[in-house]
């Protein structure tokens, strides 16, 4: 899932709001869980998120998700959020429970 960081998604420092990052990661993880189980899913919880690298206005960003663990009623999805310009460290990695 890709998106362009627009001015309304940034704070006074010109970096993307953390809530917008989390919303995009949650949507990407939900799509991965939905494709995996082929039935409606909701976010049950999320783990701690560390924002390592700022994401600047005008950057094209990508969220990649996949189901990493599942049982009869739950699915854990990992989501990596990266700018399309290659950097040493991805801005964040997060796990979601559906």
pLDDT tens-digit profile of 46-73? Answer: 877 878 788 889 988 888 888 887 777 7
Its sign, for the CA torsion 39, 40, 42, 47, is positive
What is the reported pTM? 0.79
* Res. 84 pLDDT band, cuts 50 70 90: low
The pLDDT, as a whole number, for residue 70 is 78
Average pLDDT rounded to a whole number, residues 9-23: 92
Whether residue 22 is predicted with pLDDT greater than 90 in this model: the reply is no
The pLDDT, as a whole number, for residue 69 is 79
Domains and CATH numbers, the chain: 2-97 (3.10.129.10)
């Amino acid at each position: 899932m890709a998106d362009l960081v627009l001015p309304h998604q940034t704070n006074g420092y010109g970096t993307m709001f953390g809530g917008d990052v989390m919303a995009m990661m949650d949507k990407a993880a939900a799509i991965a869980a939905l494709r995996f189980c082929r039935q409606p899913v909701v976010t049950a919880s999320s783990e701690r998120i560390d924002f390592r690298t700022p994401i600047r206005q005008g950057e094209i960003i990508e969220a990649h998700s996949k189901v990493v663990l599942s049982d009869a009623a739950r699915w854990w999805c990992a989501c990596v959020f990266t700018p399309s310009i290659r950097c040493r460290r991805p801005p964040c990695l997060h796990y979601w429970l559906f």
